[in-house]
């Protein structure tokens, strides 16, 4: 068995582990700091909305040796507006100019052809109306809202309302960080960005549901035993799925990183930047929130219940009594002789063998 696989087996059996839940306020603080930074970036810099949302013209030139800086100057002189220029992988340029109507676009196209020293027919012009971008934005918000509602309903039915609330907070956390990164780096927000944002919600929710499923199984009839508190069972659930979460996240991030750094960075493929940045940041944030935010939030909500509070008191009292008697392992019997929740019982036996 590989070292990673051996570690995963030990984590699952409870032989080793990290106290994620016990240090939850550290993770909350980190998330709050990152979220505040993202919100400030949005408030100060705002989002760089693409032509699809603002309206204007997009010119795609033929192959040229003119630099993007020079092309930007030519476009500004021709239109009187600031232009966004991207050098594409095949040596062509993509020039975006906002607030151009049909007549103005035709004149700008002629001047660009002259400045770039190429035939006018080698430049393709596409006009985008602001109403189309508004429709895309409205549909995206509608899709996001429907998705959130369905997620809450499903999780509330399949698990419980506390897990639904925690998952919703984690999703909002991931979206806020991703959008804030867009504001910080100044990448354009295009329909491709919207697609990426909606996609990362599924990835984030997947990891969260995997941990929640383990927590649901591990906490079944938890009040019938006096070995573990709810927080400890939750922590075991995180550790038991930790290697799987890391593996799935790394496997998902590798191709996205290829799109972002190779496709977008070296080849100059503009549309790849739009999708890959949102996917890359969102996947990383989703993996983080599933482990460090969602499950600890469930613990905070769950431990407000009287039955879980009483369980915690019984567990701590029993441990104190056991310590006073010399810390006999047999004083901490699992589930009062019941054979329910065998996974937790097995984990307890593993601890005693150490």
Question: Which pLDDT belongs to residue 272?
Answer: 67
Are 327 and 317 within 8 A, CB to CB? no
| Rounded distance between C-alpha atoms, residue 133 and residue 151, angstroms | 27
Phi, psi of 128 (to 5 degrees): -125, 125
Higher-confidence residue of 201 and 23: namely 23
Quick check: 347 pLDDT over 50? no
Higher-confidence residue of 176 and 276: namely 176
Determine which of 101-110, 148-157, 270-279 has the lowest per-residue pLDDT on average: 270-279
Angle of CA points 195, 165, 299, to nearest 5°: 125
Question: Which pLDDT belongs to residue 29?
Answer: 94
Q: For residue 26, give Cα distances in angstroms to 23, 32, 218, 283, 332.
A: 6, 10, 25, 21, 30
207 Cβ contact partners less than 8 Å away, ≥ 6 residues apart: 245, 248, 249, 286, 287, 290, 291
**Band (26; pLDDT cuts 50, 70, 90):** very high
| Rounded distance between C-alpha atoms, residue 62 and residue 118, angstroms | 8
Determine which of 12-16, 216-220, 224-228 has the lowest per-residue pLDDT on average: 12-16
Model confidence, pTM: 0.73
- Domain ranges within the chain, ordered by starting residue: 3-49+132-307, 58-128
Question: Which pLDDT belongs to residue 327?
Answer: 52
> If phi over 0 gives left and psi between -120 and 50 gives alpha, with beta otherwise, what is residue 188?
beta
Q: What does the pLDDT look like over 282-318, one tens digit per residue?
A: 888 888 898 899 999 999 999 999 999 999 999 988 8
| Rounded distance between C-alpha atoms, residue 253 and residue 336, angstroms | 45
Question: Which pLDDT belongs to residue 230?
Answer: 92
**Band (319; pLDDT cuts 50, 70, 90):** confident
**Domain 58-128 fold:** Alpha-Beta Plaits (3.30.70)
Quick check: 97 pLDDT over 60? yes
Tell me how crowded residue 115 is: count the other CB atoms within 10 A of its CB. Answer: 16
Tell me what percent of the residues of the chain surpass a pLDDT of 70. 81
Q: What does the pLDDT look like over 120-161, one tens digit per residue?
A: 888 888 877 766 667 777 887 888 888 888 888 988 898 889
Mean pLDDT of 95-100: 79
48-49 and 56-60: which strand pairing? unpaired
- Range of 96-100, 216-220, 230-234 with top mean pLDDT: 230-234
Average pLDDT, the chain: 79
**Band (25; pLDDT cuts 50, 70, 90):** very high
**Band (2; pLDDT cuts 50, 70, 90):** low
| Rounded distance between C-alpha atoms, residue 327 and residue 100, angstroms | 79
Determine which of 8-22, 58-72, 99-113, 146-160 has the lowest per-residue pLDDT on average: 8-22
Q: What does the pLDDT look like over 246-259, one tens digit per residue?
A: 888 888 888 888 77
Kindly give the residue spans of alpha helices, DSSP state H, lying in 221-302: 230-257, 270-289, 295-302
What sign has the CA pseudo-torsion 194, 269, 202, 297? negative
Quick check: 270 pLDDT over 60? no
Mean pLDDT of 25-34: 93
Determine which of 28-42, 148-162, 200-214 has the lowest per-residue pLDDT on average: 200-214
Are 287 and 174 within 8 A, CB to CB? no
HSE-CB for 277 with a 13 A CA cutoff: 24
**Domain 3-49+132-307 fold:** Multidrug efflux transporter AcrB transmembrane fold (1.20.1640)
Question: Which pLDDT belongs to residue 79?
Answer: 82
Burial per residue of 255-290, b for 16 or more beta-carbon CB atoms within 10 angstroms, e otherwise: ebbebbeebbeeebbbbbbbbbbbbbbbbbbbbbbb
């Amino acid at each position: 068995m590989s070292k990673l696989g051996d570690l995963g087996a030990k984590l699952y059996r409870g032989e080793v582990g990290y106290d994620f839940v016990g240090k939850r306020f550290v993770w909350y603080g980190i998330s709050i700091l990152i979220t505040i930074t993202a919100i400030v970036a949005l408030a100060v810099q705002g989002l760089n909305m693409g032509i699809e949302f603002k309206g204007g013209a997009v010119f795609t030139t033929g192959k040229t040796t003119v630099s993007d800086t020079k092309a930007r100057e030519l476009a500004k002189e021709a239109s009187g507006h600031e232009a966004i220029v991207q050098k594409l992988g095949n040596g062509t340029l993509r020039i975006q100019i906002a607030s151009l109507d049909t007549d103005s676009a035709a004149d700008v196209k002629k001047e660009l052809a002259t400045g770039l020293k190429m035939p006018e027919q080698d430049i393709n012009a596409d006009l985008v109306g602001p109403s189309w971008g508004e429709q895309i934005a409205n549909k995206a918000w509608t899709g996001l809202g429907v998705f959130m509602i369905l997620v809450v309903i499903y999780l509330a039915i399949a698990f419980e309302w506390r897990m639904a609330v925690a998952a919703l907070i984690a999703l909002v956390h991931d979206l806020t960080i991703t959008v804030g990164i867009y504001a910080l780096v100044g990448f354009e927000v295009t329909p491709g960005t919207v697609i990426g944002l909606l996609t990362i919600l599924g990835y984030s929710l997947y990891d969260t549901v995997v941990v929640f499923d383990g927590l649901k199984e591990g906490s079944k009839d938890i009040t019938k035993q006096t070995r573990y508190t709810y927080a400890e069972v939750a922590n075991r659930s995180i550790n038991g799925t930790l290697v799987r979460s890391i593996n799935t996240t790394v496997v998902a991030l590798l191709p996205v990183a290829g799109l972002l750094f190779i496709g977008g960075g070296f080849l100059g493929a503009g549309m790849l930047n739009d999708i890959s940045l949102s996917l890359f940041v969102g996947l990383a944030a989703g993996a983080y929130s599933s482990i460090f935010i969602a499950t600890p939030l469930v613990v905070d909500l769950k431990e407000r219940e009287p039955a879980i509070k009483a369980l915690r008191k019984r567990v701590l009292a029993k441990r104190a009594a056991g310590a006073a008697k010399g810390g006999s392992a047999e004083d901490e019997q699992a589930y009062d002789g019941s054979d329910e929740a065998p996974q937790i019982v097995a984990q307890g036996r593993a601890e005693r063998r150490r």
